[in-house]
Structure 1
Amino acid sequence: MSYNNILSCDIGLKRIGIACYIQGLILPLPPIIRKNRNQASSALSQILLEREIHTLIVGIPDYEDGKTHEMERRIKHFISLVNFKGEILYINEALSSKIAQESLLELGKKERKEKIKNGELDSLSAMEILKRYLSQIF
């Protein structure tokens, strides 16, 4: 298996955070701002194609009761709309947003608020999800 050209995403109702693993580096990418699921799935499909992604890592919430919950169902439905023939893996995203938010603590309140609003926080969360995946395989 090639460990290059891996993309991870943190799928939310308003934004999709994206991070990419290329040539040994994890990089945040500009998030997709969701207008509707068709627009967002098309945008993600285009990124996967343009970047020649082989593996898509998708963050899934982890619930202690072990049951499938609404957000997990929505995420998997959204991924089914994405035009992608590569490998799709689901990774526990628990606390990834909190960890990403902690990385912004050195910024001023206004800057932090802007990064949350414009989706940069979501892409930092996608980076955390990607780090978790890579720590499992390396």
Structure 2
Amino acid sequence: MLKAPNGTTLAFDFGEARIGVAEGDAEVGTAHPITTVTGNSNEAKFETIGKLLQEWQPKQLVVGLPFHTDGTEHEMTRLSRKFGQRLQGRFKLPVYWVDERMSSLYAESLLAEAQVFGKKQKQVLDQVAAQAILQSFFESGATEFFNGRPEH
């Protein structure tokens, strides 16, 4: 496992329709949900992400990698990797990968504790999942690091 570096970090919970985003800093060790990116095209989503990067000035990015419960990869794992590689290629920032298998369950339980249900929960679930991914990055480090070359 790689230790989480200091500096502002943005984390992404990638989905084809919605991308949850959270921010934080390993020095402080806390993550906060900030927004959910949507758009009619990948270009529109990356434009929004570019604005977030301008606003937050992160030193690195974290992308959650979904796996089956047994640890095997599936189509969303591949799409999440592709998304992270596009982030790195477009914005020239280091991208770290974090196993996100439990992030959605964690996000749902946090929102239930806060009494956020139904439509309200759906609106923030992805960004709270991104918060869980980033918190995991701060506490456990990253499983992999992508800097423009294949991880394996």
Matching of residue 76 in structure 1 with residue 81 in structure 2: yes
Bigger drift between 28-37 and 75-84 goes to 75-84
Structure 2 CA distance for aligned equivalents of residues 32 and 73 of structure 1: 20
Structure 1 CA distance for aligned equivalents of residues 97 and 36 of structure 2: 19
In structure 1, list runs of 5 or more residues that go unmatched.
none
- Identity fraction in percent: 26
| Letter paired with 2:112 | L
Distance 1:79 1:65, change over 3 A: closer
Runs of 4+ aligned residues of structure 1 deviating over 4 Å after TM superposition are none
TM-score after normalising by structure 2: 0.76
State the superposition RMSD in angstroms.
2.1
Partner in structure 2 of residue 17 of structure 1: 20
CA contact under 8 A between 2:67 and 2:74: conserved in structure 1?
no
Trace 1:89-100 onto structure 2 (pairs within 5 A). Answer: 89-100=96-107
Structure 1 CA distance for aligned equivalents of residues 95 and 133 of structure 2: 14
Aligned residues: 133
Trace 1:126-137 onto structure 2 (pairs within 5 A). Answer: 126-137=130-141
CA contact under 8 A between 2:10 and 2:23: conserved in structure 1?
yes
Matching of residue 114 in structure 1 with residue 119 in structure 2: yes
Structure 2 CA distance for aligned equivalents of residues 60 and 115 of structure 1: 25
TM-score after normalising by structure 1: 0.83
| Letter paired with 1:10 | D
Partner in structure 2 of residue 31 of structure 1: 36
